[in-house]
Copies of this chain bind each other. A is one copy, B any other.
Amino acid sequence: MITTLLSLALAAGAALQDTVRFTPTVQQPTFAVREPVLRVRPGTVLVSQTHFGDYYTEAGGAFPGEVGPILVEGATVNDILKIEIIRVHPNSKYAASNIRPTFGGLTTDARVRLLNDPTPTRRYLWVLDTLRMVGTTKLVGSSMPNISIDLQPMLGRLAVAPRGQEAFAGLWPGDFGGNMDAPELKPGTTVYLPIFHDGAYFYFGDGHARQGQGEVGGTGLETSMDVILKIDVVKGKTIDWPRLEDDRYIMVAGSARPLIDAFRLAHVELVEWLEEDYGFDRWDAYVLLGQVAESSVANIVDPIYTVVAKFPKRFLPPR
């Protein structure tokens, strides 16, 4: 299997000496400047996995933390961290989607705590067929005893250490990336993250075999993943919010609360991107967004919410 992974990594254009295999063992509960678990050079293809944990077994257990921090040598606060997501593939027999009283998008909010009765605590187990890439419920007696859905694996979390001495628990997204929970964080997407500390202190984790927009119930198909990422640095350029790119879109992931603020700042940074790199006048870009923008409400369940603003590449001028 690892051979296959390395083949994939090589296929991605990495020289053999730039490929690093890393099996995580330490759980990191916060995004912050901590002692690195690994050091890599720019251009490294990392073959790794998200943490295994009892959460993904049939019996259930604690949710494992993310992998990191990984120090990227030569990355400075004047640069951008560039992560190419090459592979995110479930390596567990199960995925779990749990609901509980104090979490989730359509129920009593743990931060607001309305005066009503809460959502029940329930554990939903999905059996994964990672060959056919299908997940199926295993819920005898429920209203969806054997529903099957096609898998679309992604990583909920890609992060650098936040600015200053701040340390955010793993549930937080932000301008440092973090728990963005965006379905767009899938193989084929390149993620650009701002850097707040020399070395970047890169984190990843929170594999979802699939997740709906909004992550409405509070969890996706949570499972562990084999992961291949190419870690690189764009020198001498800075950004304010995570930027994403795939074959079809340039995108910005804005995170804030209330939701409208996440929506606005993602779109404002998208306008700025169109100004800076593609020669648009600010107000022209603004009007054009009114016609062609797409967006994805990534999550409305984390401490702050994430919206991905998208501009279709086919409307970009030739560079």
Q: A residues near B, CB below 8 A?
A: 29-30, 32, 97, 99, 104-109, 111-120, 122, 124, 139, 142-144, 147, 149, 164-169, 210-221, 256-261, 263-265, 267-269, 271, 279-295, 297, 300, 305, 307, 315, 317
Whole-angstrom CA separation of A201 from B260 in the bound complex? 32
Q: List 30 A-B contacts (CB under 8 A).
A: A30-B164, A32-B165, A97-B287, A97-B290, A105-B264, A106-B264, A111-B256, A111-B265, A112-B265, A112-B268, A114-B114, A114-B116, A114-B264, A143-B279, A143-B280, A147-B315, A166-B167, A166-B168, A213-B293, A213-B294, A213-B295, A216-B267, A216-B289, A216-B290, A216-B293, A217-B286, A217-B288, A217-B291, A221-B291, A260-B260
The answer to whether A114 and B122 touch (CB under 8 A), given A30-B166, A99-B283, A267-B216, is no
User: In this complex, what residue of B is CB-closest to A281?
Assistant: B143
Closest B residue to A280 by beta carbon equals: B143
Minimum C-beta distance from A57 to chain B (A): 19
Query: Closest approach, in angstroms, between the C-beta of A177 and any C-beta of chain B?
Result: 16
B116 and A118 within 8 A (CB): yes
In Å, the complex CA distance between A145 and B312 comes to 18
Contact B212 A294 (CB under 8 A): yes
Cα-based distance from A253 to B288 in the complex (angstroms):
24
> Among the listed B99, B260, B268, which residue makes an inter-chain contact with A300, where contact means beta carbons less than 8 Å apart?
B260
Shortest Cβ gap from A117 to chain B (Å): 4
Q: A259-B260, A265-B113, A291-B211 are in contact. Are A284 and B106 (CB under 8 A)?
A: no
Task: Give the shortest distance, in Å, between A237 (CB) and chain B (any CB).
Answer: 19
Bound CA span A197–B282, Å: 39
Tell me the smallest distance from the CB of A266 to a CB of chain B, in Å.
Answer: 10
**Measured CA separation A97–B220 after assembly (Å):** 39
Tell me, in angstroms, the Cα distance from A291 to B105 when the chains sit together.
Answer: 13
Contacts of A285 in B (CB 8 A): 143
Rounded to whole angstroms, the CA-CA distance of A119 and B164 in the bound complex is: 25
Q: With A and B bound together, what is the CA distance between A106 and B254 in angstroms?
A: 14
